[in-house]
Amino acid sequence: MDTIQTKYGGLSGVEFRSFYSNGRTDGCLVTRPNTLVTPYGTLVPQYEAEDMGRRPVKPMYFYKSGALKAIALQAQTVLATPVGDIPAELVTFYESGSIRRIFPLDGKLSGFWSWQKEFALATPITFSSPVGLLSAKLIGIQLYESGALKSVTLWPGQALPIQTPLGEIMARKGLAFYASGAIRSFEPLSRIPVPTPIGRLTAFDNDPNGIHGDVNSLQLAEDGSVEELCTVDHAIHVTTGEGREELFQPGLKGSLCGDERKVSVPMRLRFGQGRVIFHGRPECSFDLQDCRFDVRKVETLTKEPAYACS
């Protein structure tokens, strides 16, 4: 076992380490209690996994400059951050030393340790945001280098009431902000009507993907206008200036539960630079001024998602 020096103090019991070309350590794993003195207090790197709920001992990582990049903590530690006191088991940093992400829990999901068990260990965290004080059980929180709130990721079943340019809504899964404090995206808990350049649409993703709240299905421009959304309730009939017609609508796919049941596949639309793009496909892009858009309510879906654009 080795002992190495870092800009935060010495580390003993080092069993793994790698080096940058300048000789500074890229990362290391320790198997003894150590303390690192940081601007956020004294941190104890993880040196053992105390129970089946914790991940195996994880190495801490450093930037080439020697600044701390990521650290798993032996025990949950409360950090004083610009948005409030946040408990942490895993923390990542910008090279400047500012906190980048905090994960209150860092459990190992397995057949012996379910997310429900991990969720049961979570406690509500109150933090400040550009839309006021919020409180929920968080999977993670992300900050800009300035310390401003960038995004939060919620545990399944958690929801936050937030005031948005579209009115007060309940957000699930995640919520993200621009550096200015304007809302960048959120995941609606239920269907909400929103104004768009082609008419009023109902925004809702019945099966949002992803494991974090950095990017969500309803995205806003910094001025509060709708930039992207998913809908399972509307179809759009497009007529181009040349008379070509296209129909875009949500679709169906087989349910993971089987039994020949079907679930809706949301239709995704993005607005920008005077155009609307369907399904994220460049060939399904239409000029807002040169085309006519007929918004239709979808009553019954009987087909797979439409990806026309001939």
- For residue 17, the model assigns a pLDDT of 80
Is 201 a residue whose pLDDT tops 70?
yes
- For residue 213, the model assigns a pLDDT of 87
Cα 257 versus chain centre, distance: 26
- For residue 176, the model assigns a pLDDT of 97
Single-letter residue type at 68? L
Cα distances (Å, whole numbers) of residue 26 to 61, 63, 250: 6, 7, 47
Is 301 a residue whose pLDDT tops 80?
no
Long-range contacts, stretch 71-75, CB < 8 angstroms, 24+ apart? 71/36, 71/43, 71/45, 72/45, 72/46, 72/106, 73/43, 73/44, 73/45, 73/46, 74/33, 74/44, 74/45, 74/46, 74/47, 74/48, 75/44
- Rounded to the nearest integer, the mean pLDDT of the chain is 89
> Residue holding tokens 């949301």?
266
Is 258 inside a domain boundary?
yes
The count of structural domains within the chain is 2
Q: How many helices (H) and strands (E) does the chain have?
A: 1, 28
DSSP state of 57: P
Is 213 inside a domain boundary?
no
Is 252 inside a domain boundary?
yes
Is 225 inside a domain boundary?
no
The set of residues, in sequence order, having a beta carbon less than 8 Å from that of 258 and lying 6+ positions away, is: none
Q: Give the residue from 123, 156, 171 where a domain finishes.
A: 123
Kindly indicate the confidence band of residue 308, based on its pLDDT and cuts at 50, 70 and 90.
low
Q: Comparing 43 with 19, which gets the higher pLDDT?
A: 43
Q: What angle do CA 246, 265, 299 make, to 5 degrees?
A: 70
DSSP state of 96: T
pTM here? Answer: 0.89
Contact yes or no for 291/227 (Cβ under 8 A)? no
- For residue 80, the model assigns a pLDDT of 94
Is 189 inside a domain boundary?
no
- For residue 122, the model assigns a pLDDT of 82
232-263 residue pLDDT tens: 999 999 999 999 999 999 988 776 665 567 78
124-178 residue pLDDT tens: 999 999 999 999 999 999 999 999 999 999 998 999 999 999 999 999 999 999 9
Cα 72 versus chain centre, distance: 20
Q: Give the residue from 100, 123, 146 where a domain finishes.
A: 123
Is 103 inside a domain boundary?
yes
Is 304 a residue whose pLDDT tops 70?
no
Cα distances (Å, whole numbers) of residue 114 to 53, 58, 103: 9, 20, 17
Instruction: Summarize the chain as % helix, strand, coil (round to 5).
Output: 5, 55, 45
* C-alpha torsion 160→165→168→170, nearest 10: -30
Is 118 inside a domain boundary?
yes
Is 47 inside a domain boundary?
yes
Q: Give the residue from 123, 152, 182 where a domain finishes.
A: 123
78-127 residue pLDDT tens: 999 999 999 999 999 999 999 999 999 987 655 565 667 777 778 999 99
Contact yes or no for 212/187 (Cβ under 8 A)? no
Least confident of 6-20, 219-233, 246-260, 286-300: 246-260
Is 49 a residue whose pLDDT tops 80?
no
In which domain, by residue range, is 25 found? Answer: 1-123
